[in-house]
Structures are given as structure tokens and as C-alpha cells.
Amino acid sequence: MRVIVLGGTRFIGRAIVEELAAAGHDLLIVHRGFYAVGDRRSPLSMSLIGMAINLSLDVTLIWPMGGGGLALATAISSIVQCALVLWLFELRVGRLDWRSLRQSCLQIGAATFAMTIVCLLVAMLCPPGHSWAQRLLSVGAPVAASLAVYFGLARALGMDEISLLFRWQRAEP
């Protein structure tokens, strides 16, 4: 399977890349790909653009939305930066497998949506109380239910990323 990794050289990314390579997957490490073709400016430029978008949106969204505006600004700027990096990389190196990327995004989106709904429903059923145990339950129950739904759907949908994470062996069609 061909796997695209953004970054993949530090922290957890390095361990993930090593595991994927050991499993025999064809890896495309995007930021290192720019360096491999002698382009050191593009990753820096894309990072600066992402920071500028994030800062602009932070200032714009913090007043009407508070902390949620900061989170939304970070999410939007990350998505824009990722799209710019992938677009530029495709121009420089070659065509990416957009079909498998789209499939992965749809699967992840569906599992995330279901997880969010379950989290909200369980959180409504477990209101916070005054005791330590009640507070733990009001946080722990939604988190546990959400994780169970997400990973259950990930396995049911055959999400390769989760299979690799837990080393589930998927039968090849």
C-alpha cells in the first residue's frame, strides 16, 4: 500500500514511518520530498503561510467565538497548509493517488462524525456531579464510548491507518 506522510521525521512520526517501512509499505514523505529535490524554500513558505492564516483567523474569531474560535482557526489553517503542501508537491514530484486519499478522508470523517454524536449523547446522560467519582464518570464515559465507536467503525470500515496502528491483518481482496 502507498502511504503519504506529512513530516514523519521527528517525534511519533518517525516511529510510524519506521513501522510502515518495516511492514513493506511504499512511503512518500512529503516534507522530506521537497528537500530531496533540492527545494528548501517551499516547506518554509507553506509554514509561514499557514502561520499567517492562523494568526489572522485567531484575531478574527476569538472575539465572537472565544476559545472555540482559536480551535477553529487552527483547524482551518492546518487544512489550508496541508492542501497547499500537497498541491505544490504534486506539481514538483508527480501525481498523487487522490482516489485512495479521498477514500481515507471519507472513512475518517464518517467515523469521527459518529464518534462525536456518541460523545455528545453520553455526555448528556452523565452530567457532572459533586463527588470525585461522578466527575470521573462524566468525563470517562463519553471518552470511552467515543473511542469504542471510532475504533469499532474504523475496523468495520477497513481503515488501513487504524489497521496499521494496531497491526490488524486485513485480508487482501
Entry pTM:
0.56
The rounded average pLDDT for each run of 10 residues, N- to C-terminus, in the chain (173 residues) is 60 65 65 67 80 90 88 89 82 78 86 93 87 88 94 86 62 49
Would you state the pLDDT for residue 171? Answer: 47
Report the alpha-carbon distance of residue 9 to residue 15 in Å, rounded. 8
Three cell numbers written together for 52: 499567517
Q: How far apart are CA 108 and CA 103, in angstroms?
A: 9
Task: Map out the domains of the chain as residue ranges.
Answer: 98-173
